[in-house]
Amino acid sequence: MKRALVIVQQETSSPGRVGDRLRQMGFDLDIRCPNIGDALPGNLDGVDAVVIFGGPMSANDDGTVPGVRAQLDFLPTVFETDTPTLGICLGAQLLARTLGSSIRRHPYGFVEVGYHPVVPTAEGAEHFEGPMRVFQWHREGFDLPDGATCLAMGETFRNQAFRYGDNVFGVQFHPEVLRDMIELWTERASDDLVLHGAQSKADQLVDFDRYDPAIDRWLTQFLGQVFT
């Protein structure tokens, strides 16, 4: 069986739909949470895929959150081995920071919480059939790393998806999210729902029913491209 190293950010984190799809693709999930003390491997021998998920901390928190520092120290190994890798939200920002990019908040204080549009670039047409509304939950964005290719763009935070080399991908949004995860996140992080650019819980649940079938189809195709 193929092995996927899955890095989550909290003890209660779930790989959600991404985890379900990886299992369906024949991967055994090795789930580790460095923010609660789980060690990351010294090498990627026997690892066929890496997925780094999001969390409430910042990619700039390496001075205060040991798990963030551990991931930044680990990620050069990913680039050295060319292991197929996907970073989601904070995971994408950690990839971008490791590649030398800045991670910062929106200059006017906007966030993306709820369903927001992304539009593929010409280079992203291989991975996106067209514009989509996808689930987001973040206060920070990333600059496009030198040498990376932008695959999709957004209105509030420009860089929404990128590829670095042939096998490393980052997406700012959350294709793993299922309805029960929206219920949980809107309860635990309810303070974020009053920020500029955030949707209400009710609107998020309505949009889940409206947009999730397309996200589900896209993710199945995308993971097949990344982790073949």
Of the chain, the percentage scoring pLDDT greater than 90 comes to: 99
Domains of the chain and any CATH numbers: 2-226 (3.40.50.880)
Give CA–CA dist 36/41, Å, rounded: 15
Give CA–CA dist 228/49, Å, rounded: 10
* pLDDT for 216 beyond 90: yes
Average pLDDT, the chain: 97
- The tokens describing 177, both together, are 């999210």
CA atoms in the 13 A half-sphere facing the CB of 135: 31
Q: Give the rounded distance of the alpha carbon of 159 from its chain centre.
A: 12
Give CA–CA dist 25/224, Å, rounded: 8
* pLDDT for 228 beyond 90: no
Task: Write out pLDDT tens, residues 173-207.
Answer: 999 999 999 999 999 999 999 999 999 999 999 99
pTM: 0.97
- DSSP conformational letter for 35: G
